[in-house]
Amino acid sequence: MAMRAAILRYIRLPARAQTLAAPRSREWTLLGGSSASRSMSSHGDDHLTKEEVVERVLSVVKSFPKVDPATVTPDVHFQNDLGLDSLDTVEIVMALEEEFKLEIPDLEADKIDSCHLAIEYIHNHPMAS
């Protein structure tokens, strides 16, 4: 009986020691550091690789009816190179939002002017999927 209590006390001790140690809390702060991440959600887990983002963005831009698919490259500017209107840019940004299940704030969406900016923004967005 005393031995059982002694063994239980011994087994219990490491858990207490771990809660007081720094590594655990550091682990939590690393996870909770970026304000946009939710650690218990499975949305946004599939971190997109750059090539995948590029491929999907290009496919969205190429399927736009006013765009010639042969001229689309990852560096193309919507208004200068593709000859699109500012309203067409708005439509493309909306199509990208739908493709990657994102919600881009209005002022940020206004600044997306080229494929390069779009790829950067989507790649760096934590919730893109």
Partner 1 sequence: MSAAAAVSTAGYLARRAAQKEKVRILYRRALKDTLNWAVHRHLFYRDASDLRERFEANKHVEDLDTIDRMIADAEASYNKWRHPDPYIVPWAPGGSKFTRNPTPPAGIEIIYDYGREDND
Give the interface with partner 1 as residue ranges (CB under 8 A). 5, 8, 12, 15-16, 19, 24-25, 28-29, 31-32, 37-41, 43-44, 86-87, 89-91, 93-94, 101-103, 106-107, 109-110, 127
Q: How far is the CB of 51 from partner 1 (least distance, A)?
A: 24
Q: How far apart are CA 113 and CA 80, in angstroms?
A: 9
Which lies closer to partner 1 via its Cβ, residue 7 or residue 49?
Answer: 7
Which lies closer to partner 1 via its Cβ, residue 8 or residue 50?
Answer: 8
Q: How far is the CB of 105 from partner 1 (least distance, A)?
A: 9
Q: How far apart are CA 101 and CA 44, in angstroms?
A: 10
Q: Are 123 and 53 in contact (CB under 8 A)?
A: yes
Task: Check 85, 106, 110, 113 and give the catalytic one.
Answer: 85
Q: How far is the CB of 63 from partner 1 (least distance, A)?
A: 13
Q: Is 46 a catalytic residue?
A: no
Which lies closer to partner 1 via its Cβ, residue 65 or residue 70?
Answer: 65
The residues annotated as belonging to the active site are 85
